[in-house]
Amino acid sequence: MKIFIARLAGTPVFDPAGDQIGRVRDVVVAMAGSAPPRVHGLVVEVQPRRRVFLPITRVRGIEAGSVVFSGQINMRRFEQRATESLVIGEMLDLQVEVEGDRVTVLDLAMEETRHAEWVVTKVAVVTGGSGIGLRRRGPTKIVDWGEVSGFNVIQKDQGAANLLFAFETMRAADLASALHALPDKRRVEVAAALDDVRLADVLEELPERDQIGIMSRLSPDRAADVLEEMNPDDAADLLQDLPPEQAEALMALMEPEEAAPIRRLLVYPENTAGGMMTSEPVVLPPNATVAEALAHIRQREVTPTVAAQVYVARQPIETPTGRYLGLAHFQRLLREPPSVLLGAIMDTSIDPIKPEYTLNQVTSYLATYNLMAVPVVDEVGRLVGAVTVDDVLDHLLPDDWREQDPGSGNGHG
């Protein structure tokens, strides 16, 4: 039975008891001259966003929508050996030759040749394409491994179309984890192939080092476009990590209305309410209806923590707003008739906080009142933003929390 490897990406992995322990992110193979590569095992992502190695000898079944293994899985973080290759991360989109024709690798198939021994036997290729862009070009065909040459050649611009096709259903946080695990060359190629919106979402989930590495390899105009698509608070955090002259140059390339909220956030120290708040909460005037409020928080780009509250303020309702009046909780909106005005149901019992509140003060405030978010107002009573629980968590955790391994040890067996 042939298993096409790119199609395994994201497949749930179950232990002998039937409990899901993670998802397949890649397949590890060993190249040995012209012989078909031997499959060493699977890279499985377990929570919290840690990649571990599952030897192919432990795999008892690969069926539609699931991988089942026997025994126990070693929870040490996966470390790729020098003699190993990652099929999805490194081999998709390679330019290779078949019968003298230049083609692009679309997928590879593995087969079990004897009990618990798998090798890569087939290569799916597409002709007429450069590997750049998300649309496949030209006809595809499946050939034997022995008919293909060029896998051992380092290519300057490999492209990332087919790798992204394998990962297209991933959430931004999972794709960020996949990017973090790639070699630097592939990480940059994948970032270049993502559209601005998707790349902005992924950058928000990456460690600082990866963010800076990717942004430094983008053209200034592209980097400015991506910053415009990021949440202002995340964009401000990223810019704070860049050299001041580079950060200022990028903001100068941004549309003034997109750069303005970022500039306002950069005024505040990082570990204060002003430094960690989002400047784009949901804000409506007091004469807006419950139906209008629900329509706003229903929008796809509004995160659950931001959608937990609708803030009520006088015109203008863009931050910094007119005078802040109160807030309407999501649950209260669900209990009221659609035609009721926000001014009649808003909660005025929760005092807003000031931008200079420290991280500890904000954390205590949210915990004391069991809030998902809290409004932030300036000295004249204007709403300037809101601090959400996820904003606080990002600042409470160590700077390198996305890279930390809760387990111990390295390598794989």
Per residue, the 3-state secondary structure of the chain, as one string, reads: CEEEHHHHCCCEEECCCCCEEEEEEEEEEEEECCEEEEEEEEEEEECCCEEEEEEHHHEEEEECCEEEECCCCCCCECCCCCCEEEHHHHHCCCEEEECCEEEEEEEEEEEEEECCEEEEEEEEEEECCCCCCCCCCCCEEEEEHHHEECCCCCCCCCCCHHHHHHHCCCCHHHHHHHHHHCCHHHHHHHHHHCCHHHHHHHHCCCCHHHHHHHHHHCCHHHHHHHHHHCCHHHHHHHHHCCCHHHHHHHHHHCCHHHHHHHHHHHCCCCCEHHHHCECCCCEECCCCEHHHHHHHHCCCCCCHHHHCEEEEECCCCCCCCCEEEEEEEHHHHHHCCCCCEHHHHCECCCCCECCCCEHHHHHHHHHHHCCCEEEEECCCCEEEEEEEHHHHHHHHCCCCCCCCCCCCCCCCC
Q: Please indicate, yes or no, if residue 329 is contained in any of the structural domains.
A: yes
CATH of the domain at 295: 3.10.580.10
Q: What pLDDT score was predicted for residue 135?
A: 46
Which candidate, 160, 119, 105, 134, places its Cα nearest to that of 27? 119
Q: What pLDDT score was predicted for residue 201?
A: 93
Residues 51 and 97 in one domain: yes
Q: What pLDDT score was predicted for residue 64?
A: 73
Residues 245 and 355 in one domain: no
Q: What pLDDT score was predicted for residue 181?
A: 81
Total residues belonging to the chain: 413
Q: What pLDDT score was predicted for residue 116?
A: 78
Q: What pLDDT score was predicted for residue 404?
A: 54
User: Which of 240, 267, 294 represents a domain boundary (last residue)?
Assistant: 267
Residues 6 and 86 in one domain: yes
Full-model pTM: 0.67
Number of domains in the chain: 3
Q: What pLDDT score was predicted for residue 401?
A: 57
CATH of the domain at 118: 2.30.30.240
Q: What pLDDT score was predicted for residue 409?
A: 42
Q: Distance between CA atoms of 162 and 174, rounded to whole angstroms?
A: 17
Q: Distance between CA atoms of 82 and 294, rounded to whole angstroms?
A: 54
Residues 141 and 11 in one domain: yes
Report mean pLDDT in 10-residue bins for the chain, 413 residues.
91 93 94 88 88 93 89 88 89 89 93 89 81 58 92 67 77 86 84 92 90 92 95 91 92 94 91 92 97 94 92 95 96 96 95 95 94 95 95 78 48 56
Residues 297 and 363 in one domain: yes
- State which residues form the domain around 361: 283-396
Q: What pLDDT score was predicted for residue 127?
A: 82
Residues 10 and 84 in one domain: yes
Residues 226 and 328 in one domain: no
Q: Please indicate, yes or no, if residue 178 is contained in any of the structural domains.
A: no
Q: What pLDDT score was predicted for residue 154?
A: 58
Q: Please indicate, yes or no, if residue 316 is contained in any of the structural domains.
A: yes
CATH of the domain at 245: 1.25.60.10
Q: What are the structure tokens assigned to 279, written together?
A: 């400047």
Residues 306 and 345 in one domain: yes
Q: What pLDDT score was predicted for residue 158?
A: 64
Q: Please indicate, yes or no, if residue 347 is contained in any of the structural domains.
A: yes
Q: Please indicate, yes or no, if residue 381 is contained in any of the structural domains.
A: yes
Q: Please indicate, yes or no, if residue 158 is contained in any of the structural domains.
A: no
Residues 262 and 301 in one domain: no
User: Which of 215, 237, 267 represents a domain boundary (last residue)?
Assistant: 267
Question: Which distant-in-sequence residues (6+ apart) come within 8 Å of 365 by Cβ?
Answer: 353, 357, 371, 374
Residues 14 and 134 in one domain: yes
Q: Please indicate, yes or no, if residue 190 is contained in any of the structural domains.
A: no
Q: Please indicate, yes or no, if residue 154 is contained in any of the structural domains.
A: no
Q: What pLDDT score was predicted for residue 55?
A: 95
Residues 211 and 324 in one domain: no
Residues 253 and 328 in one domain: no
